[in-house]
């Protein structure tokens, strides 16, 4: 009987997450929830935005009644910004955040992050990109050095797997069989990192800025 295997696919999205000034003391708790929810923190930095920077970041909200209060709030203290990655990162992060109004979130989504850490519609604890295009723009704003390359899909993804992933993985498994280490999983992980044929130029980094 022929077993039909699904075609290899690559689904990786990135989104921007911000821990806002009034809940920055909950950073470790929030990060733990993020990691347990299947996200990878690609980059992270602590910084404080000026009112002008906040105005530019929230430019799409310009002219709305709450805009002055929003920029004043977001520039009132340090924030923690993170690039999060996983399958469907934008939609999953929005779901984890819950409604923008924390008071409403406590009624409709009581386990969401905004229900747990937010106060009201303005001070709702965390920010999330609304769309993939918004995520790209916001990531470039907060992390101007970040490399945002298009993720291959379809035939391009299959070509990438055949050209880079499969040969490297086969070589690693062959070396694993010869080496017979005590902890094969850790050994293989280290080997794959060392022999990665397409190492990214930008590695995981955390910068602290006061």
Residue 15: strand pairing partners: 84
Q: How far apart are CA 17 and CA 83, in angstroms?
A: 6
Q: Of 82, 71, 84, whose CA–CA distance to 27 is shortest?
A: 82
Helix (H) or strand (E) holding 14: strand 13-19
Based on its alpha-carbon atoms, the radius of gyration of the chain, rounded to whole angstroms, reads: 21
- The two structure tokens encoding residue 44: 């992270």
Q: Is 45 exposed, middle or buried (0-12, 13-18, 19+ CB in 10 A)?
A: middle
The two tokens of residue 186 are 């850790």
Please tell me the chain's helix, strand, coil percentages from 3-state DSSP, rounded to the nearest 5: 50, 15, 35
Tokens found for residue 45 = 């930095």
Which residue among 40, 109, 127, 195 is the active-site one? 127
Q: Give the pair of three-digit tokens for residue 184.
A: 């094969």
Collapsing DSSP to helix, strand or coil, 79 comes out as strand
Does residue 127 have an active-site annotation? yes
Q: Which positions are catalytic?
A: 127
């Amino acid at each position: 009987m022929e077993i039909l295997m699904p075609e290899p696919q690559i689904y990786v999205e990135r989104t921007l997450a911000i821990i806002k000034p009034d809940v920055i003391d909950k950073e470790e708790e929030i990060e733990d929830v993020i990691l347990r929810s299947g996200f990878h923190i690609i980059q992270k930095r602590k910084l404080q935005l000026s009112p002008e920077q906040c105005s530019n970041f929230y430019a799409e909200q310009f002219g709305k009644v709450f805009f002055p209060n929003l920029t004043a709030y977001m520039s009132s203290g340090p924030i923690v910004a993170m690039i999060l990655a996983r399958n469907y990162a934008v939609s999953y992060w929005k779901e984890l955040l819950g409604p923008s109004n924390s008071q409403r979130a406590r009624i409709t989504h009581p386990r969401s992050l905004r229900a747990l850490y937010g106060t009201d519609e303005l001070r709702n604890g965390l920010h999330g990109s609304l769309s993939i295009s918004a995520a790209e723009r916001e990531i470039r704003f907060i992390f101007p050095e970040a490399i945002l390359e298009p993720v291959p899909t379809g035939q391009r993804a299959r070509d990438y797997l055949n050209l880079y992933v499969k040969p490297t993985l086969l070589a690693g498994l062959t070396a694993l069989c010869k080496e017979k280490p005590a902890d094969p999983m850790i050994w293989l992980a280290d080997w794959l990192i060392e022999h990665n044929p397409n190492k990214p130029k930008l590695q995981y980094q955390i910068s602290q800025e006061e």
